[in-house]
A and B are shown apart, each in its own frame.
Chain A
Amino acid sequence: MQDFIDNLIRSWGHDPAAWPWTQFLYLAFMGAAAFIVVNFAAISAGIFSWAERRVAARMQSRVGPNRVGPFGFLQWVADAVKLLLKEDLVPAEADAVLFRAAPYFMMVGFACVFVCLPFSHKLIVADLNIGIFYILAVTALIVVGIIMSGWSSNSKWSLFGAIRSAAQIISYEIPAGMALMIPVLLAGTLSTQGIIRAQGGWPWQWFIFDNPAAFAAFFIYFISALAEGNRTPFDLPEAESELVSGYNTEYSGMRFSYFFLVEWGNMWVMSAIATTMFLGGWQLPGLSPARFDALTGGVAVIAEIASLALFAFKTLFFVFVVMWLRWTLPRIRVDQMMNMCWKYLVPASFAGALFVAAWMLLVHEAPWLGQAMRFALTAIAAVTVAAFALRTLKNLRDTGDKFDFTSNW
């Protein structure tokens, strides 16, 4: 970003180091970038709220919201406007200051993540050299917001929800962090763009298929991310049947919508991190990063848009998987959730990190082994996906139904 502005100033015939307006231009571009990113986060969260309702409806043989705009697409706008206009209620016995502040902590912790999330080859707000570490750090701010909202609401349901959520997020940050360390080991950098560049465009060049431990690490990360985002089957903090919606029970109107904005926006965040770390990010097949950098003119623009589309496609696929899981799996118990984290995921992620370290030494000695393992894992994954698709088709046919995705929208 800084390079881009410096180049811009040079093209105007000034020296960025000496030109007096350089700092103001930096500031203006930062403000614009922040505005775009926060709005991207908010709008994507809104669209996911609509998408989730439509996906949920179809999976349950319902129709879902389809009245506002084409396919009900503007439903989320209507909902947002309604929530903004509603009364912003603070319970009488609540700690008003903390109660009011809590949603902003959530929003800040959520929006800060986007600073380091890549969107395409060039499109990233700031490619920090500690990128993924920064993301893990600012995500912790969400816990503060949740605890604040639960405590200040002065309601037992809110407090239960907040404590469950805090316990869950803090526990699952360990396997999530360790699982993310495996791509970091493989890439040798913490920078998100650096990790993507260390991978390749073809599936067997992705880190997920690099070795069995990385393959497992992807699932460990995905499970932990579900838990951190309070998504089913780990939606204990929001268990409607037990806690009346958990830490946000007492919230209404705009502040309530912040919590849900964060929850739905987190789907993009967790999916984008998975894409970045394990699935090759924006890498186009057959176009190495070095050749990508060398592209100029119209080809560069087309490649840029293609990389953006590919990254968005991979991310949205995982957003869909998160929704799909929500409408498939029941909620697990608190003890099961804790067991899973501490007894299985934490040891597995540590073991995986050790395995990858050893594997890297081995592959250094015998590179053919690394290649063979990549192709083998990719083949296994492809066969699994095909078998799953056939099984789905069989389930569809077995009930005498036919494939019909287009009618009754």
Chain B
Amino acid sequence: MGAYAKNVRDTAKSFWEGMSITLSYMFRKPITTQYPDRVGVPVRDTIPARYRGFLEVDMDICTACLACERACPIAVINIDVVKGDGKTRPKLNMERFDIDIGKCMYCGLCVEPCPTGAIQHTREFEGAVMHFDNLTLRFVPDPTNPIPAYKVPKGSDAFPRRPLGEITRKLIKAWDAPPPPFPSMEEAAKAKEHGAPKEGGLDPSAMGRQLAAKALSVKEDKPKLQKVLEEAMAGTDCGDCGYPDCFGYSNAIAQGKDTATDKCAPGGADSKAMLETILVTLKTGAVPAPATPAASGCRSA
């Protein structure tokens, strides 16, 4: 009977307590803070500094070495490089630097090989948009106005980077922004010329023969030969060839220690063709005749 009475008392007491506690919570301020419009500071400013959000490229210090493009396992980064002759146009220009954030898996593999720290993860993460195409971040805003590659000053190990997030934040469009225009028929017809060598651009086969003639004249002078060979390379000092910089690679070829011509990744097919022309010329002693325009190779893919 005592236990029975105790049970009854416990029941009444737990009702009394439970009801008063839930009622007291009714009159408190809810703890929940609603995202995104009722937070005090932007959420990106509250997350850790090393959070891997949207990628950002500071084009001012990008050497166009293409290391990030090659590192990307799923081809999220697309860079188009055009070469200039170094006089009327800078030697390396970027016509396109696109990062498809909709495809990116935020692995961070592109950040690691970057020689200058131009490509970085920001803390931006809000990518809810109506049109998926708007998620492609175009770091070269106008392809007709290419951005010259950054030439690394010798011996520098710190680079003037703009504050992280500033560039990407400007590139992210509003959620309801219209999609980028689809090319019209006229524009598509014009685009057929895409890929053809541009005026003022570089003709790799002509330049290869030019360099080969120069190389032939300085055949015995190893340091001068190295200079000529380095000119055939991209000159980004990316280190992808296995040598610390372009000097290392060209010097090795000049010394005869290395015969591979395909190690200059940023230079791509152009560099390979030019280096081959030079090496063939050095071996045969005669500059090869100009090939038909169709065989002259195209710009870096």
**What is the interface of chain A, defined by CB distance below 8 A to chain B?**
55, 57-63, 66, 324-325, 327-329, 388, 391-393, 395-396, 401-405, 407-408
Contacts and interface: CB of A to CB of B under 8 A. Distances in A.
A60 B25 contact: yes
Nearest to B25: A59
A66 B32 CA distance: 13
A395 B31 CA distance: 17
Interface stretch (B15-23, B68-76, B123-131, B290-298): B15-23
A272 to B, nearest CB: 22
Interface of B: 15-32, 34
Contacts of B19: 324-325, 328, 388
A327 B18 CA distance: 10
B22 A59 contact: yes
Contacts of B17: 391
Contact of B27 (A57, A329, A403): A403
A393 B24 contact: yes
Nearest to B34: A63
Given A63-B32, A408-B30, A58 B25 contact: yes
Given A61-B25, A324-B19, 4 more contacts: A324-B22, A328-B19, A391-B20, A407-B29
A71 to B, nearest CB: 13
A58 B30 contact: yes
Contact of A401 (B16, B28, B34): B28
A203 to B, nearest CB: 21
B180 to A, nearest CB: 31
Nearest to A62: B32
Contacts of B21: 328, 395
B20 A327 contact: no
A392 B20 contact: yes
Given A324-B22, A328-B22, A391-B20, A405 B31 contact: no
A66 B34 CA distance: 10
A13 B20 CA distance: 61
B17 to A, nearest CB: 8
A405 B27 CA distance: 5
Contacts of B26: 55, 58-59, 324, 405
B28 A329 contact: no
A404 B26 CA distance: 9
B29 A392 contact: no
Contacts of A60: 25
Contacts of A55: 26
A392 B24 contact: yes
25 contacts: A57-B30, A58-B26, A59-B23, A59-B25, A61-B31, A61-B32, A62-B32, A63-B32, A63-B34, A66-B34, A324-B22, A328-B21, A328-B22, A388-B16, A391-B16, A391-B20, A392-B23, A395-B21, A396-B24, A396-B27, A396-B28, A404-B27, A404-B28, A405-B27, A408-B29
Contacts of B27: 392, 396, 403-405
Given A388-B16, A391-B16, A327 B30 contact: no
3 closest cross-chain pairs (CB), A and B: A396-B24, A395-B24, A404-B29
A324 B18 CA distance: 10
A66 B28 CA distance: 17
Contact of B28 (A61, A327, A388, A391): A61
A402 B31 CA distance: 13
A370 to B, nearest CB: 27
A15 to B, nearest CB: 58
A61 B32 CA distance: 7
B22 A327 contact: yes
A401 B30 CA distance: 11
Most B CB within 10 A of own CB, among A55, A61, A403: A61
A405 B26 CA distance: 8
A396 B27 CA distance: 8
Most B CB within 10 A of own CB, among A66, A393, A407, A408: A408
A328 B24 CA distance: 12
Contacts of B23: 59, 324, 392
Contacts of A391: 16-17, 20
Given A58-B25, A63-B30, A408-B30, A388 B18 contact: no
